[in-house]
Structure formats: C-alpha cells, structure tokens
Structure 1
C-alpha cells in the first residue's frame, strides 16, 4: 500500500486501496484524516421517478421562458434550447444517482483489496472504528506522541490488515473446497487424495497464521485506542480532584493534599508503549 489509504464500505463489500475509490452507483462523501481517506456512502434521497419528473417539469418551464426571451432578443434559439435541455438532463441524472444506494466500483489494480466475506468485512470495519478512536485521542496527547509518525503507523496497520484479511478470505474459500475432498468416493491411499490432504494441512496452517497476524494488528490498534482514552479519562479525573481540593480548602477550610491527583507517569508509558507496538 502507498502512503495514503482509501477505505470504503458499502452494503456488500469493503474496498481498501492506495488510490481513490469510485462509486459505480449512488453518491459518496470523502472524509480525510491524515493519510486515511474514508469514502462514506450518502443516504439515498428516496426521491422516486414521479418526483423527479415533476421537478424536471418545473425546472423546464422557466428555462423555456428564458429561451423564448433570448430568441426574441435575437439570440440563437437552438443554442438556448439546447442549453436548457442539457441542464435539465444533468439535474435529472444527478437526482437519479442520489436516489440510488451506493455501490463502489471494483478496483482494477493489483494493490487494492476487496473483502466480500462477512467475518473479514466485520473485522476491518471494527479496526476502522478503533482507528477513529485512536485519532480522536491525539489532540489530548500532544507532546507525548508524534502525530505524523502515529498517523503513518496507523495507516500502515490498516493497509497490512486489509492484506491479511484478503489472504484469509481466499484461504476460507480454499479450505471449503478442500473439505469436500474428505467425502469424495476415492481410496484413502489415492495419490490425489493424499495430495489434497497435504494441501488441506498447509491451508489450515496458513489460515491459523493469518488469523494470528490479523488478531495482532487488531489488538495493537485497540490497545492504542484504550491506552489513549484511559489516559485522557484519568487526566480528567485528576483535574476534577484538584478542583475539588481547592474548593474544599476555600469553602470548608480543609487543607489540600499535596499531589492528590493520580500519578499519570505510568499511564504515559503505557500510551507510548501502545504506539510502539502499533508501529512494530
């Protein structure tokens, strides 16, 4: 994967690519956070054909009037009429596209990954959600981490996860095909049967390895999110405790306790360690 990562999720698949993702149907909006660009499907407008016809008719009437006025003023009437027709057609196409559910186009390059199977789609969607949590903690972690390096590490982790999940998806299909050989009516000592059994063992080993790798990446992203969120919560609690002590000292005469807020040094190290694991 390149330095940028584009990710989009529609109703049937997940597309992860170093190149911009195009919509074959429907409309999308693009949300950039650092080197990650999420392509988010827009909600269909729900405007049916009758509504679009009505709107087109209402738009065409004033355009026809303007064309007639221009023709009367000496302007070439067919240019005015042609422009009006083109405008109505463009509005019609835009509204028709907005009414459709978004479907992403299939990428044609070898670097993009498309996840079809439900478990792999769910795993990447979970990682994408965890990455959003990680990025939301960065403003509060200023000075503890380098946002540029952290952004690059997080984007690379998502790209690597997409590669692993795509490989696991292929292995899922292969294992299903090889599982059918067990029920085949051929002798157990057949060379074909033995070759299929050996292939199944290799596929199972690759399946387990891909699962371990995916879980490691998912765990690293989630650990970075939890470490940052925990640090922020503890810092908020520490600020609340200090405010309470100052208020009590002023109102009730209770002396303030030195260093009453929790020691966050350990949590700071935990945050830094989590980001080191993410970059590894």
Structure 2
C-alpha cells in the first residue's frame, strides 16, 4: 500500500492517500511506494508586485485580442481564451507567493504530527529510510526489493501511528501535570484519582516511547547493515581485482635474461680494445 508523507512549517502529514496542497506549491519525490511532498519556497513577490504584473498581462492580452480580431477571428472566442489564460497565470503566481501548506486529508486514515519532538523523530526516520533504499541496487542479488519496500513502508506507517499517539499522550500528560497543582490534600479522593491517572499516563508514555525507539532502531540497523555490507563487498572486489592483476603480472614477467650484462661486457671489451689501439 502506498504511503504519502508531507511536511510543512507547522505539521507532518502521513497518509495512505495522495496529499494536496492547501496553499503554495510542492515538489513530489517518489521512493518505491513512498511519495514525499516537499513544499516549495515562496517566490517572494509581494501583492503590489503581483497586481502590477497582472495589469501588464491584462494589457498585453487586450492588445492581442484586438489584433487577432482585426484578422477576422471571432472576438468572443479570443476573449474567452485570454480570460482563461489570465486567470491561470495570476492564480499560479498567487500560489507561488504563498508558503507551502499541506492540506489535511478527510477521514481518520492519516496521521498528523504537530509536536516538534515527534516531527523531528519522524523526519530522522524518513531520512534513514532513504539510506536504506540507496543500498538496495547494490544488494539486488541478496534481497527482494518489492518485499523490502513493503516492509520499510509498513515501518514508516507504524511509526507515524505510534508518534501520533505519543503526542496525544504528551498533551494529556501536560494537562494532568497542570491539574496536579490543585492544592488539595494528598489523601483526598480527587487527589488520589488524579495520581492514579497520572500513573497510567506515565505507563502509556513509556510504552509509546519503547515502540517508537524499537522502530527507529530497526530502520537505523537496516541502513547500517546494508551500508557495511556494500563496503565489505567493495573491499572484497578490490582484493579480487588485485589478485588477478598480480597473477597476470607474475605470468608475464618470466625469468630475467642475461642480455643486459652481456651488452655491458661487450661494450667494455670494445672500449678496452679501442684504448689499446690508440695507445699503441
């Protein structure tokens, strides 16, 4: 099942269905069955600048309409086309100037993370998942990419659910901590009931932390194992290539000949004979 992950300046949305933008524009990057929706930076053009650009565009379209109408083309068709073009271009520029914001999907299928702690943890998991996927091409003869993709996508989906639950527990824990400053006697029924609920929330907090850490550790371990194996395979291949090269060099070398010493001896003999001849 595909998974869509979108993160803007205020939240992270994880959904099994495609994500849309509420404002601004976004780039989409697909990694297997996971698609990341990354909002683009605003264009920076102010509203007065966009209004000026729209006026200039409208003037150009009016001139084009007049010129084409003079050629006998029905002006209504030209005006309709220019109006559609004007609305499309101004709408595109308006969206480009807005900060990118991911729209919340309908229904309860999506998990939405608002707390900075949970968003940061999920961001690290997504980055680590990219590292895992980068190892698959080199390990294609050892793993089933489709099965690995399903497992990794499921891990990211489960982690989003755990972190969404954890941020709810965080809010409840904070509310109970604020309520603890009630000034009641510790042995009062209300104080005892509050203490009991705080203990239950603390247990849920520990359990959610353990679940999240287990998934994060598993994804990290998969990335490290794949990267280490690739390094080991590369070193092994380098050693094999070196062994073959050494074997070829050894076979090509053969026993050393006496040509060089013989040449030196003959040269020395010629020089000695020449000296005797000239000296005599």
Fold-level similarity (TM above 0.5): yes
Give the one of 164, 168, 184 matched to 2:182: 184
- C-alpha separation in 2, matches of 1:54 and 1:177: 50
* Secondary structure in 1 matching 2:146: helix
- What is the aligned partner in structure 2 of residue 226 from structure 1? 224
Q: Deviations over 1:134-182 (max 9, x none)?
A: 1111111112111111111111110100010001000001111111232
- C-alpha separation in 1, matches of 2:174 and 2:180: 11
- What is the aligned partner in structure 2 of residue 110 from structure 1? 108
- C-alpha separation in 1, matches of 2:47 and 2:109: 39
- What is the aligned partner in structure 2 of residue 273 from structure 1? none
- C-alpha separation in 1, matches of 2:165 and 2:154: 17
- C-alpha separation in 2, matches of 1:181 and 1:77: 71
- What is the aligned partner in structure 1 of residue 264 from structure 2? none
- C-alpha separation in 2, matches of 1:4 and 1:79: 43
Give the one of 172, 175, 200 matched to 2:173: 175
Structure 2 segments unaligned to the other structure (5+ residues): 254-280
- C-alpha separation in 1, matches of 2:105 and 2:87: 29
Q: Which moved more, 1:61-70 or 1:128-137?
A: 61-70
* Secondary structure in 2 matching 1:11: coil
Give the one of 160, 163, 174 matched to 1:162: 160
Moved over 4 A (4+): 248-253
Normalised by the length of structure 2, the TM-score is 0.83
- What is the aligned partner in structure 2 of residue 131 from structure 1? 129
- C-alpha separation in 1, matches of 2:220 and 2:65: 61
Give the one of 147, 162, 170 matched to 1:149: 147
- Is contact 1:181-1:193 (8 Å) kept? no
CA RMSD of aligned residues (A): 2.1
1:48 partnered with 2:49: no
* Secondary structure in 2 matching 1:183: coil
- C-alpha separation in 2, matches of 1:28 and 1:64: 32
Q: Deviations over 1:114-153 (max 9, x none)?
A: 1011110001000000110111111111121111111111
1:80 partnered with 2:73: no
Structure (1 or 2) with the larger CA radius of gyration: 2
Superposed, 1:1-280 pairs within 5 Å as: 3-250=1-248
- C-alpha separation in 2, matches of 1:246 and 1:47: 62
